[in-house]
């Protein structure tokens, strides 16, 4: 079956996580993604946090599946010549170098556009162009702090806290993928390429939209009723850290289950969805609360929400997180066990859906990765192992018209 992005050739100048997450997804959907790496070294994640000596680290293999690897020193004249040819025959160039690196290499947007007017040049930077921090290099947690996630995450009595979810990296990559697909659609109509730029700060902020909502509510009314600080604590003039409170109109919290004293993940997330109040009361054996004016509306419950959670925890104390959810699901209550990476890795449903997949790697053998979170009715996403450094250099150069002799000479001079 032909894949939707088949025929789209992408020069993948990305490294670490933000860029590779984007190009990996495009490769899954059929694009020919040529990862261009420095000879001898490659993407720094090949050697970061290795679990097997001398073998590409999981950090690399889990972000670079379905790609081809071309080694090329783009700072040499011959390397620039090869890159120039590649630009002429490709559709998209994706990069997440530090600010100005592509320009310093001699490939400004203007120059690339001259070489190939249909080319889409997609970039990730820490901050957007013209921003007063535009010169900064940025990693994941830096972006989470710059984008408003850290100041609003954690508990009121603790420091700003970063999330384990890659809001700065992979999230930015997903934004970039949307930008690239949009630019490809525009090119279908106009024949022209364009520059697509996504900043990590903006991408984090985009996911913190409801916190910006809360800032404006706070400015107007001086409190935020769904935060644990309300009504017993106090508010300053900035959105506080809300702990595990539900971010929407539904109060929620992480609640202890049987075994929490020894198992740090023996918890469920419990949501008190307004219209589910009666089923909640029935589920936890508190029928008398259903029609009690002191409990029957969300507003009436607000000042005793933590007392209510304490009662639910008492109900949970002889149930494991899985037993609890199995009961609560029958009452249509939005909840989930707090799942560990180990539980997720072995989850039969995730294996069956292809969200957790086992892939083969030439040197490492089998490893687990996270497959496509997007499911299609007419596309089966087939996840392949990541390429070894320079694994496809010769075949790519041959397809560009270089002879065996020329390729051997390029290897000799360490251009590839
Ligand atoms: N051949 C020759 N040179 C190459 C090359 C190749 N194939 N590929 C890269 N290079 C060179 C670049 O030209 C650049 O050289 P100069 O700085 O001399 O111009 C250098 O390698 C790469 O620089 P860099 O700034 O990208 O790398 P770094 O390790 O210093 O910084 C990072 C890493 C991630 C902080 C920076 O790339 C960055 O801020 N990127 C944008 C934001 C981003 O994506 N961050 C997320 C990363 S995931 O957490």
What are residue 13's DSSP bridge partners? 95
169 classed as catalytic: yes
Report which protein residue has its CA nearest ligand 1's atom 11. 101
Output the pLDDT for position 246.
86
Flag whether pLDDT at 301 surpasses 70.
yes
Distance, CA of 251 to CA of 225 (rounded, Å):
9
Q: What are the φ/ψ torsions at residue 249 (nearest 5 degrees)?
A: -85, -5
Question: What is the mean pLDDT of the segment spanning 125-138?
Answer: 97
Task: Give the Å distance between the CA of 90 and the centre of ligand 1.
Answer: 22
d(CA 152, CA 160): 7
What element of type H or E holds 171?
helix 170-190
DSSP H/E element including 225:
none
Q: Is the dihedral of CA 321, 325, 328, 330 positive or negative?
A: negative
Query: Measured between alpha carbons, how far is 96 from 107 in angstroms, rounded to an integer?
Result: 14
Q: Is the CB of 97 under 6 A from ligand 1?
A: yes
Encoded tokens for 136: 């900064």
Pairing of strands 267-271, 335-337: antiparallel
**247 pLDDT exceeds 90?**
no
Q: What percent of the chain has pLDDT over 70?
A: 100
Alpha carbon of 99 to ligand 1 centroid (Å): 8
Nearest in space to 244 (alpha carbons), one of 332, 140, 158: 158
CA–CA distance from 120 to each of 108, 110, 176, 193, 210 (Å)?
A: 13, 12, 12, 5, 32
75 lines ligand 1 (CB under 6 A): yes
Q: Which of 97, 125, 415 to mutate to test the pocket of ligand 1 (most atoms within 8 A of CB)?
A: 97
- The one catalytic residue in 32, 56, 91, 169 is 169
- Looking at the predicted structure, is the pLDDT value of residue 1 above 80? no
Q: In degrees rounded to 5, what are phi and psi of residue 337?
A: -65, 150
CA 101 to ligand 1 centroid distance, Å: 7
For the CA of 37, the closest atom of ligand 1 is 7
Coil, strand or helix at 107: coil
List the single range of 58-67, 240-249, 337-346, 391-400 with lowest mean pLDDT: 240-249
- How much is the average pLDDT of 331-340? 96
- pLDDT at residue 249, rounded to an integer: 78
pLDDT at 407: 98
Cα 89 to averaged position of ligand 1 atoms, centre (Å): 24
How many Cβ atoms are within 10 Å of 122's Cβ, its own excluded? 27
Does the C-beta of 125 come closer than 6 Å to ligand 1?
A: yes
Q: Across 280-346, where does the E strand assignment appear? A: 335-337
Confidence of residue 126 (pLDDT cuts 50, 70, 90): very high
Residue 378 has pLDDT above 90, yes or no: yes
**Which is the closest atom of ligand 1 to the Cα of 126?**
42
**Is residue 389 lining ligand 1, measured as CB closer than 6 Å?**
no
How close is the Cα of 44 to the center of ligand 1, in Å? 10
Element (H, E) at 306: helix 305-316
pLDDT at 169 over 90: yes
Strands (E), 134-212: 195-199
List % helix, strand, coil for the chain (3-state, nearest 5). Answer: 40, 15, 50
Which DSSP symbol is given to 240? Answer: -
User: Strands 267-271, 252-256: parallel, antiparallel or unpaired by DSSP?
Assistant: antiparallel
Ligand 1: residue whose CA is nearest its atom 24 = 98
**Using a 6 Å cutoff on CB, does residue 80 contact ligand 1?**
no
361 beta partners: 365
184-224 pLDDT, tens digit per residue, is 999 999 999 999 999 999 999 999 999 999 999 999 999 99
How many angstroms separate the CA atoms of 335 and 125, rounded?
37
Sheet with 195-199, side-by-side order of all strands = 68-71, 32-37, 9-13, 92-95, 120-125, 195-199
pLDDT band at 274 (very low <50, low <70, confident <90, very high): confident
Distance in angstroms (rounded) separating the CA atoms of residues 12 and 37: 9
Residue nearest atom 31 of ligand 1, based on CA coordinates: 98
- How many Å apart are CA 68 and CA 54, to the nearest integer? 20
Helices H / strands E in the chain, number of each: 17, 11
80 by DSSP, 3-state: which?
helix
Task: Go through the chain and tell me how many residues it has.
Answer: 416
Burial class for 85, CB neighbours closer than 10 Å (0-12, 13-18, 19+): middle
Residue 364 Cα to chain centre, angstroms: 25
For 174, the token pair is 């997903």
The band of 304, judged by pLDDT with boundaries at 50, 70 and 90, is very high
Tokens 């921090």 found at: 133
Give distance in angstroms: CA of 398 to centre of ligand 1: 28
Report, as an integer, the average pLDDT of 54-80.
98
CA distance 44 to 59: 10
Q: Which atom of ligand 1 is nearest to the CA of 44?
A: 29
In sequence order, the β-bridge partners of residue 122 are 94, 196
């Amino acid at each position: 079956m032909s894949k939707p992005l088949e025929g789209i050739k992408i020069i993948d100048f990305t490294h670490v996580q933000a860029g590779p997450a984007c190009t990996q997804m495009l490769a899954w959907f059929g694009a020919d993604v040529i990862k261009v790496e420095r000879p001898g070294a490659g993407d720094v994640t090949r050697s970061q946090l290795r679990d097997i000596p001398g073998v590409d680290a999981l950090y690399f293999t889990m972000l670079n599946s379905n790609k081809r690897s071309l080694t090329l020193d783009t700072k040499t004249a011959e390397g620039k010549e090869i890159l120039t040819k590649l630009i002429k025959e490709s559709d998209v160039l994706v990069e997440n170098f530090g600010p100005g690196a592509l320009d310093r290499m001699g490939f400004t947007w203007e120059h690339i556009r001259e070489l190939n007017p249909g080319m889409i040049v997609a970039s990730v930077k820490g901050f957007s162009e013209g921003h007063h921090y535009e010169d900064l290099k940025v990693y994941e947690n830096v972006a989470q702090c710059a984008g408003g996630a850290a100041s609003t995450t954690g508990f009121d009595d603790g420091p700003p806290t970063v999330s384990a979810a890659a809001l700065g990296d992979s999230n930015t990559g997903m934004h970039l993928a949307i930008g690239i697909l949009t630019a490809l659609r525009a090119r279908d109509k106009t024949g022209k390429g364009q520059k697509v730029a996504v900043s990590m700060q903006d991408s984090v902020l985009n996911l913190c939209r409801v916190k910006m909502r809360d800032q404006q509510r706070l400015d107007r009314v001086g409190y935020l009723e769904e935060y644990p600080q309300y009504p017993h604590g106090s508010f300053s003039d900035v959105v506080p850290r809300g702990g595990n409170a539900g971010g929407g109109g539904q109060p929620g919290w992480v609640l202890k289950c049987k075994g929490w004293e020894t198992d740090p993940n023996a918890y469920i997330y419990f949501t008190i969805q307004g219209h589910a109040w009666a089923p909640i009361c029935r589920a936890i054996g508190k029928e008398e609360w259903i029609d009690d004016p002191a409990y029957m509306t969300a507003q009436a419950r607000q000042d005793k929400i933590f007392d209510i959670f304490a009662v639910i925890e008492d109900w949970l104390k002889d149930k494991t997180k899985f037993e609890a959810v199995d009961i609560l699901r029958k009452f249509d209550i939005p909840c989930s066990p707090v799942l560990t990476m180990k539980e997720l890795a072995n989850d039969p449903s995730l294996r069956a859906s292809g969200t957790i997949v086992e892939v083969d790697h030439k040197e490492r053998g089998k490893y687990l990765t996270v497959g496509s979170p997007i499911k299609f009715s007419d596309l089966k996403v087939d996840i392949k192992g990541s390429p070894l450094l320079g694994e496809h250099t010769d075949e790519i150069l041959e397809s560009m018209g270089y002879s065996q002799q020329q390729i051997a000479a390029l290897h000799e001079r360490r251009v590839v």
